[in-house]
Amino acid sequence: MELHQLPSFLMERWFAEFEFVPGMRNLAASGPFAVTTRELLELEGAETTARYLELDLDYIENPGSESLRQAVANQYTTLDAGDLRITSGASEALFLLMWTMAAPGMNIVIEEPCYGSVPGIAQSLGIEVRTLSLRQEDGWRPDLEQLDRLIDGKTRLVYLVHPHNPTGSVLSKEEMQGIAEMTPLPSVVDVIKDAVSIGDMTKPWGLGGLRVGWVASRRHDLLDLISSSRDYSTMCSSAPGSFLAELALRHSAQIIAPRLAAARANRDQLAEAITNSQGALSWRRPAAGYTAFVQLPAHLSITALCRRLAREQRLLLLPGEVYGSVYERFVRIGFGCDPGLFQEGLATLLEAL
């Protein structure tokens, strides 16, 4: 297999340039506002805090502890601990999955716009990347006939982000079923068996700093390959991160509820601003997730505007161009942040427009 350099990850380079500038107001993130360690520990009594302080900071097991894997499995309706491998965020899960599935002459299908890690890794491994363009006029949902034409006998992976980031569109169960039936892998016994789900503590819970993600699948042969590949990436997750992830999952609803309430209020504010813009701004209202993909007037250079807002107003947005030049009229707005911050940031953007 021919290896290439990893291409520049435009989105992450954008964040690297601006996200940690002091005073930056982040309206570009794809998750909710973060949780503090104190908040997590206070969800339980002194006994949990004591256990955390006594936690051994040695290596932990490569697949993740049985109890954390079971807690993650409980987020699904039909999985158990054996169907899970914990990773360092979804980032490592995607990396290992691509590394494990790579083979000469194979291809993968991705949606566009798409988070850049899977296509970037595929490109570095010499795997052909086929793209299924999503369009605002289709509600940012995949055209299944076009997808069917892209898939062939050498397709190793159809990579779908659901809810879709940045547009917030969701797939129906029928659409998922339809897509699974297009995949002509000889080992398909039933549609569920070959599905791989990647998730993380970042998006729903606001715990990106724990670096805990996972791969879930009934294909245990694939999970074993992922564990073997992990011997070369991080070997295991961080012990404190895993402890706190398990604690958070015991109180999942309590952590998510205020974040969803803030996101819904922010999304309503954004909807109002778009309605009042009399056609200057347009979108397909996101059905889920914490991001919206908003189209701005054609005469503007959006990337230059975002750069100016970050430098001069300390307001961070994500220009659609990081997803490819066809999205240069769009901006990703993250509405998972604190409502006061969102209101302030939105006002700054509207004023600039």
Ligand X SMILES: Cc1ncc(COP(=O)(O)O)c(C=O)c1O
Which residues contribute to the site for ligand X (CB under 6 A)? 30, 89-91, 115, 161, 165, 200, 202, 208, 213
Closer residue to ligand X (CB): 8 or 278: 8
Closer residue to ligand X (CB): 60 or 318: 318
Closer residue to ligand X (CB): 15 or 52: 15
Q: In what order do the strands lie in the sheet with 330-334?
A: 291-295, 330-334, 318-319
Please, is 62 exposed, middle or buried when counting C-beta atoms within 10 Å of its C-beta (0-12, 13-18, 19+)?
Answer: middle
- Both tokens assigned to 316: 């961070």
| Least Å from the CB of residue 53 to ligand X | 26
Closer residue to ligand X (CB): 205 or 342: 205
Closer residue to ligand X (CB): 90 or 274: 90
| Least Å from the CB of residue 92 to ligand X | 7
Cα gap 93→7, rounded to integer Å: 19
Which of 29, 14, 31, 8 has its CA nearest to residue 310? 14
| Least Å from the CB of residue 291 to ligand X | 8
DSSP H or E run through 118: helix 117-124
Cα gap 73→84, rounded to integer Å: 7
Cα gap 119→114, rounded to integer Å: 8
| Least Å from the CB of residue 319 to ligand X | 16
| Least Å from the CB of residue 165 to ligand X | 4
| Least Å from the CB of residue 158 to ligand X | 15
Closer residue to ligand X (CB): 48 or 131: 131
Strands (E), 204-320: 213-217, 291-295, 315-316, 318-319
Q: Residue type for 107, please?
A: N
Q: Which residue is nearest to ligand X (CB)?
A: 89
139: alpha, beta or left? (left if phi > 0; alpha if psi -120 to 50): left
